[in-house]
Amino acid sequence: MLLNVDKVRQYFPALAGEWTFFDNAGGSQTLKKVVDRISEFLLTSDVQLGASYGVSQLAGERLALATRSIATLINANSPQEVVMGPSTTMMLRVLSICLGQTFTPGDEIIVTNCDHEANIGAWVALEKQGIKIKVWQISPDSLELDLADLEPLMSERTKLVALTHASNVLGTINPIKEIAAFVHDRHAMICVDGVAYAPHRLIDVQDLDVDFYTLSFYKVYGSHHALLYGKKEHLLRLPGLNHYFISQTDIPYKFQLGNVNFELSYGMLGLCDYLSELAQIHYDNQTAPDLRNQMVQAFDLISIHEEQISDRLLNYLNSKPNVRVIGQSKADRNFRVPTISFVVDGMHSSTIPLKVDKHYIGIRYGDFYAKRLIEYLGLASQGGIVRVSMVHYNTIEEVNRLIEAFELIF
């Protein structure tokens, strides 16, 4: 079964404009259903939670419903394991401050050199309190993380391994379940940045057996909001950052300074609504009976379509002798997401998006906050990479338009 992209695009009002959006890894377009849910909350229940009067009770019920639905989205064991906040960068910093209080000087954290800085800098900051930071580097040949390179980095003092689920530059999907088992066998925890993965594949934190997981909703068709998942036993034992009188058993609230944004949290119920409808539209009387399995059906459709549009662009780029794809050159959905990066021989990367702009196509160049990776690849002097980041609402026709624009450039 193939995704009906024409129907999909009707859910995204911005797609009716003249621009083609291929900068989705920086921020996807927003579902009208998300906007509608935000408006519903603000216009009919915009009050503080926890009071006895009816509207406050309604607001609390709405936030609880949204949290339960987001827990279903990532398959958390409990809504208490869902901590929502303003950004992945902020949520990882909060986590590092809280988790860092449980470490002692000489303890070790392993980060990679291919992550977004959000899941590196938060942990590197703990060096100030005597935590030792080690770096798990990608292979210079495959540009992938190899467990054989992680093995010698781990010791009895290793407390945490932090890495990305999918690189926001390379597009490579890391085998998180396998890595988590490896890390747990050595009595350490794992923290995964799922920002570049979440728009493309359904997350199952229980199956992955991760200790912590983060994502940004504004890259998953929602508003500027984010999520930190943590296993309940971890969140309960960690010291919180909220006011001294907030109970240390009050999760997720003890991690939500100034409280969570109610309307943006409720708004993400619109994403769950959308995924459910996507399954119903395509599967009709074979639609799964429950929300989680409807999400499975929706993301199956999404991943197949994304593989098709990735294949079109990658085949073109691979055919150009002066173009080098940075990352896997095949579109296989089991190994990469449709975030495609490349460089062109003899061209500074900054010059290419400027020439594409006039065709009303949005792409981007740079390091994308994976600065350590770009420097490791020796691409900083070239302005980093050119990135075309697609999602399921993009079409083959849009890819063909981009290819036509590229033909005029290189």
Write out pLDDT tens, residues 149-159. 999 999 999 99
How long is the chain?
Answer: 410
User: For 293-317, what is the mean pLDDT?
Assistant: 98
Please name which of 37, 49, 27 lies closest in space to residue 269, comparing C-alpha atoms.
37
Structural domain spans, the chain: 5-29+290-407, 34-271
CA torsion angle 43 48 53 57 (round to 10): 80
pLDDT, tens digit, for every residue of 205-240?
Answer: 999 999 999 999 999 999 999 999 999 999 999 999
- The Cα-based distances of 301 to 16, 19, 73, 296, 399 in angstroms read 22, 24, 16, 9, 19
Q: What is the DSSP string of 340-391?
A: EEEEETT--TTHHHHHHHTTTEE-EEE-TT-HHHHHHTT-GGGTSEEEEE--
Q: Rounded to an integer, what distance in angstroms lies between the CA atom of residue 319 and that of residue 192?
A: 34
Query: 12 pLDDT band (50/70/90 cuts)?
Result: very high
Separation CA 177–CA 208 (nearest Å): 4
Residue 360: HSE in the Cβ half-sphere, 13 Å Cα cutoff: 7
CATH of 5-29+290-407 among 3.90.1150.10, 2.60.120.380, 3.40.50.300, 3.40.50.280: 3.90.1150.10
Helix axes 54-74, 291-319, angle to 10 degrees: 50
Q: State the DSSP string of 2-29.
A: ---HHHHHTT-GGGGSS-EE-BTTT-PP
User: How big is the CA angle at 212 (ends 209 and 215), to the nearest 5 degrees?
Assistant: 110
3-class state of residue 204 by DSSP: coil
Q: What is the pLDDT of residue 154?
A: 98
Beta strands in 130-251 (DSSP E): 132-136, 158-164, 189-193, 212-216, 226-230
134: which DSSP letter?
Answer: E
Inter-CA distances, 69 with 28, 193, 254, 367, Å: 20, 20, 21, 34
Q: How far apart are CA 238 and CA 259, in angstroms?
A: 18
Among residues 85, 302, 62, which one has the least CA distance to residue 203?
302
pLDDT at 49: 95
Residue type, 256: Q
The average confidence (pLDDT) of the chain is 98
Locate 241 and state its tokens: 């950052």
CATH hierarchy code of domain 34-271: 3.40.640.10
Strand-pairing partners, residue 336, are 172
* Confidence band, pLDDT 50/70/90 cuts, at residue 11: very high
Q: For the segment 43-67, what is each residue's pLDDT rounded down to a tens digit?
A: 999 999 999 999 999 999 999 999 9
What type of residue is 378?
Answer: G
> Tens of pLDDT along 365-388?
999 999 999 999 999 999 999 999
Residue 341's pLDDT band, with cuts at 50, 70 and 90, is: very high
Buried b (16+ CB within 10 A) or exposed e, 135-169: ebbbeeeebbbeeeebeeebeeebbbbbbbbbbbb
Task: Please compute the mean of the pLDDT values over residues 27-40 and round it to a whole number.
Answer: 98
Q: What is the pLDDT of residue 42?
A: 98
